[in-house]
């Protein structure tokens, strides 16, 4: 099932209002201007106000769209019940599309999780750059590849070469300590 864009807009509005709230709270802790007319808190307050204003416009539009959608659903349900019902073939097609979209989303989440774990391994666990990077490239590359098992060793080899090459360039030539 696809989420109606108006719901996405309402989620955006909530996030923006929370952000605007943070701006107001942060601005309230700042001292009043002493040597200049504007002061440090003015811009956060102005931007907070603007964000609330834009968020309200988007919220009103989204609620309007959702109300319109509910009304039209009621009307279409009352007038024609048979045409709105999906055929068996359509629903099968829909479930296929949903399945592939879901697989894609899961793959995206998997890549994101791998990225977080990669940074945790380098930053918090302080593991060595070359093996961690090689493992990361192997996992992400295999997850994104259509021929999973055949690609595994290719990505492992590529990851090792890439990690070793990057390590060499960054530490020897650009003086960046990769750990």
Partner 1 sequence: MLDAFITLFQIDNLLFLFLGTALGIVVGAIPGLTASMLIALTLPLTFHMDSVNAITLLIGQYVGGISGGLITAILLRMPGTPASIVTTFDGYPMAQNGQPERALALGIMASVVGGIISWLFLAGMSPTLAKFALQFGPWEYFALVMMALVMLASLTQGSLVKGLMAAALGMAFALPGIDNSIGRARLTFDMDALLSGFGLLPVLIGAFAISQILRESAAPIKASTPINLPKKKLPVQFKDLKTFGPNMLRSSVIGTWIGLLPGIGANIAALVSYTTTRQLSRSPEKFGTGHEPGVVAGETANNASIGGALIPLITMGIPGSVTEAILIGALTIHSLQPGPLLFQNAPEVAYGIIAAYLVANIIMLFLMWNAVRYIAAISQVPRAWLLSTILVFCVVGSYAVNNNFTDVWVMIAFGVIGLGLELARVPLGPFVIGFVLSPIAEEQLRGSLMMSDGNVAEILARPYAMSFLFVALLTLLWPLIMGQVARRRHHTRQEPNS
Side-chain half-sphere exposure of 77, counting CA atoms within 13 A: 6
Distance CA 143, CA 102 (A): 15
1 binds partner 1 (CB under 8 A): no
Please report, as residue ranges, which positions from 43 to 62 form the binding site for partner 1 (by CB under 8 A).
43-44, 47-48, 50-51, 54-55, 57-58, 61
Out of 70, 72, 73, 105, the only residue in the binding site for partner 1 (CB under 8 A) is 105
CB-neighbour burial class of residue 137 (10 A; exposed 0-12, middle 13-18, buried 19+): buried
Sign of the Cα torsion 133, 134, 139, 141 reads: positive
Q: How far is CA 60 from CA 3, 4, 9, 57, in A?
A: 18, 15, 10, 5
Cβ 93 to partner 1 shortest distance, Å? 15
Print the binding letters for residues 132-151 with partner 1: x by CB under 8 A, - otherwise: -x--xx--xxxxxxx----x
How many chain residues are in contact with partner 1, going by CB under 8 A? 70
Is 93 a residue that touches partner 1 (CB under 8 A)?
no
Question: How many Å separate Cα 167 from the centre of its chain?
Answer: 29
**CA distance linking residue 45 with residue 20, whole number of Å:** 9
Binding to partner 1, residues 158-177 (CB under 8 A): 158-159, 162-163, 166, 170, 173-177
Where along the sequence are the contacts to partner 1 (CB under 8 A)?
Answer: 5, 8-9, 11-12, 15-16, 19, 22-23, 26-27, 30-31, 34-38, 40, 43-44, 47-48, 50-51, 54-55, 57-58, 61, 100, 103-105, 107-108, 110-112, 115-116, 118-119, 122-123, 133, 136-137, 140-146, 151, 155, 158-159, 162-163, 166, 170, 173-178
């Amino acid at each position: 099932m696809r989420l109606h864009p108006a719901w996405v807009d309402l989620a955006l509005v909530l996030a923006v209002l929370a952000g605007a709230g943070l701006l107001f709270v942060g601005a309230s802790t700042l001292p009043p201007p002493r040597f200049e007319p504007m002061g440090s808190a003015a811009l956060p307050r102005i931007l907070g106000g603007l964000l609330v204003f834009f968020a309200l416009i988007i919220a009103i539009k989204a609620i309007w769209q959702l109300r319109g959608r509910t009304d039209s659903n009621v009307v279409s349900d009352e007038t024609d019940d048979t045409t709105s019902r999906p055929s068996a073939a359509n629903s099968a097609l829909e479930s296929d599309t949903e399945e592939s979209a879901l697989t894609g989303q899961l793959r995206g989440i998997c890549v994101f999780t791998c990225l977080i774990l990669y940074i945790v391994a380098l930053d918090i666990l302080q593991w060595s750059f070359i093996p961690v990077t090689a493992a990361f490239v192997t996992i992400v590359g295999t997850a994104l590849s259509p021929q999973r098992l055949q690609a595994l060793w290719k990505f492992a080899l590529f990851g090792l070469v890439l990690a070793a090459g990057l390590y060499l360039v960054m530490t020897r030539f650009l003086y960046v300590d990769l750990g």
